[in-house]
Amino acid sequence: MIELDRAGRSFKVKRSLKLEGNLVHAVRDLSFTVAPGEFVGYLGPNGAGKSTTIKMLCGILTPTSGRVRVAGLDPSRKRTTLARRIGVVFGQRTTLWWDLPLRDSFELIRHLYKVDRNVFKTRLDELTETLDLGGFIRTPVRQLSLGQRMRGDLAAALLHAPDVLVLDEPTIGLDVVSKSSIRAFLRRLNTEQGTTVLLTTHDLGDIERLCRRVMLIDHGRLAFDGTLDELMATAPEQSTIEDVVTRLYTGSR
């Protein structure tokens, strides 16, 4: 479903007025494959290249080297075709229209993605129920709490029934209750509908409760790729997941 082959993205950073800037590699030589139906946690310290990877997957950033394929498509060249098959949620930034009630944002998305009216209605009813949107679906997005907004964003990303869902820190800043409801929702989505999910997070609770497979990126390269059990086995027994990840983050420096 997702395929990266030695993908890289570098940025020219100008430190001064010199014409030649320094080349910073946000991601370099990154290769991995995610099969349909997998639920993968994508970990890494701040600035490791997580968001850059995600942005290459949905066609926001064009890779400067290597090959990226999502659902068989080159994201930067077939961006609009891919958009119908991928759902994206940014925890730090809403994709909804600020001044519009959720319901109107959804209606607009239905038109942009050309979702059939009846299919849309069934899906929205389903999402309204599972994400408990009923209480605030007529409220403008700017007046929603973070937890409500995140549920709205999730629904918006799923209205067109994408094969792949990419989540960039979806639980950031949420309280325990909101977190657990979003986790339950994501697990059901993955097991019941078979949606492939790639999730980046700093909340290791997300990883423990949701991900069968974990990838860890640092300095733009893959530092670990395996099951959660295999990840835990890299550290002495009785370590918590926090210990394990801390070891990996600091050990690779």
User: Residues 43, 201: contact at Cβ < 8 Å?
Assistant: yes
- List the one residue from 37, 140, 147, 226 that touches other proteins (CB under 8 A): 140
CB nearer other proteins, residue 83 or residue 216: 83
| Distances from the Cα of 110 to the Cα of 24, 107, 131, angstroms | 39, 5, 18
H or E stretch including 122?
A: helix 117-130
Of positions 2, 27, 34, 58, contacts other proteins by CB under 8 A: 58
Q: How far is the CB of 20 from other proteins (least distance, A)?
A: 17
Token pair belonging to 79: 């961006």
Return the residue matching tokens 């059939």.
116
| Cβ atoms of residues 63 and 237 within 8 Å | no
Rounded CA separation 50/9 (Å): 12
Binding residues with other proteins: total (CB under 8 A):
36
Q: Which residues from 18-57 bind other proteins, rule CB under 8 A?
A: 46-47, 51, 55
CB of 169 to other proteins, least distance (A): 8
Tokens 């730090």 label which residue?
Answer: 92
Q: What is the DSSP letter of 47?
A: T
112 binds other proteins (CB under 8 A): yes
Q: Are 178 and 12 in contact (CB under 8 A)?
A: no
Q: Is 92 in the site for other proteins (CB under 8 A)?
A: yes
Query: Which span (107-115, 125-133, 231-239, 240-248) binds other proteins, by CB under 8 A?
Result: 107-115
How far is Cα 129 from Cα 13, in angstroms, rounded to an integer? 47
Distance CA 112, CA 105 (A): 10
Residues paired with 134 in a beta bridge: none
> Is residue 116 part of the contact set for other proteins (CB under 8 A)?
no
Q: Which residues contact 82 (CB under 8 A, 6 or more apart)?
A: 58, 59, 70, 71, 73, 75
**Closer of 202 and 209 to other proteins (Cβ):** 202
Between 86 and 154, name the residue whose CB sits nearer to other proteins: 86
62 binds other proteins (CB under 8 A): yes
Candidate ranges 98-106, 125-133, 178-186, 215-223; the one touching other proteins (CB under 8 A): 98-106
The reply to whether 147 sits near other proteins by the rule CB under 8 A is no
**Binding marks (x or -) toward other proteins, 67..86, rule CB under 8 A?**
---------x--xxx-xx-x
| Residues that bind other proteins in the complex, under the rule CB under 8 A | 11, 46-47, 51, 55, 58-62, 76, 79-81, 83-84, 86, 88, 90, 92-95, 97-100, 104, 108, 111-114, 140, 168-169
